[in-house]
Structure 1
């Protein structure tokens, strides 16, 4: 049974990449456009840079364009975001609201090694 499921690994990887990118883009549009919900604070400085990276990088990952290098940058950005904005509030992700940043970081780092999967502009 698992051999049959393994045949669909490239498609499953693509679904992971696409869903992650869509969620990431939504965080960027929240910061830049106040959509779907307005961001908690003003979008300036690092928040503006983060919003731009989330939208532009998220779009690149969505279509599978330079997935590996873009995911490397976005994974690093999420690590920095966690330690700059979430970790000082508490050591525990459930308490500091940083669980999404951790998940994004590790999914993007996985994409660095795994590549884009099926249905991408760049196949490797």
Structure 2
């Protein structure tokens, strides 16, 4: 079936897009580029808890997920950081994400959890390196009895 052939490419593209968006989110906070923190043009001060550390996870985790390197571990860390952001930052002000501004944290949390469970897909450095490390089998010669 045509849709089954699209599963691997779509999974890889989903992983790459989610990783890129997370990477860009961290880039704005760490370096003050692309609008900076909440459009201020400013970066988060080095080492400030939890903002700077969250931005570092977003930057490094997003990059790793984007290229598909250590994907499952990086995705679990990214998912956990977004769960933390939701429950510590957003949820205390209101229960539902639409009421507390936590939609993005919720979407990232569940997207990274999906990536952690399904894996990186075929188009990932993890997959390429795993396949390259696989020993090649020499063809066996068939001889007549």
TM-score of the superposed pair, with normalisation by structure 1: 0.92
Bigger radius of gyration among the two:
2
Q: Which sections of structure 1, spanning at least 5 residues, go unmatched?
A: none
Residue 54 of structure 1, aligned match among 40, 53, 58: 58
Considering Cα pairs closer than 8 Å and 6+ residues apart, tell me whether 1 or 2 has the greater RCO.
Answer: 1
Which of 4, 26, 29 in structure 2 is aligned with 1:28? 26
Distance 1:90 1:80 in 2: 15
- Write the distance in 1 (CA, Å) between the matches of 2:61 and 2:90: 22
| CA contact 1:21–1:59 (8 Å) conserved in 2 | yes
Report deviation, 1:88.
1.2
Match of 2:95 among 91, 113, 123: 91
Q: Is the 8 A contact 1:30 1:39 kept in 2?
A: yes
Residue 15, structure 1, aligned to residue 19, structure 2: no
Deviation at 1:37, TM superposition (A): 1.3
Point out where structure 2 has 5 or more consecutive residues left out of the alignment: 131-145
The alignment yields a C-alpha RMSD, in angstroms, of: 1.5
Matches within 5 A, 1:90-109: 90-109=94-113
Q: Determine which of 107, 110, 113 is the counterpart of 2:114.
A: 110
Match of 1:77 in 2: 81
Size of the aligned set, in residue pairs, is 122
CA contact (8 A) 1:26 1:35 kept: no
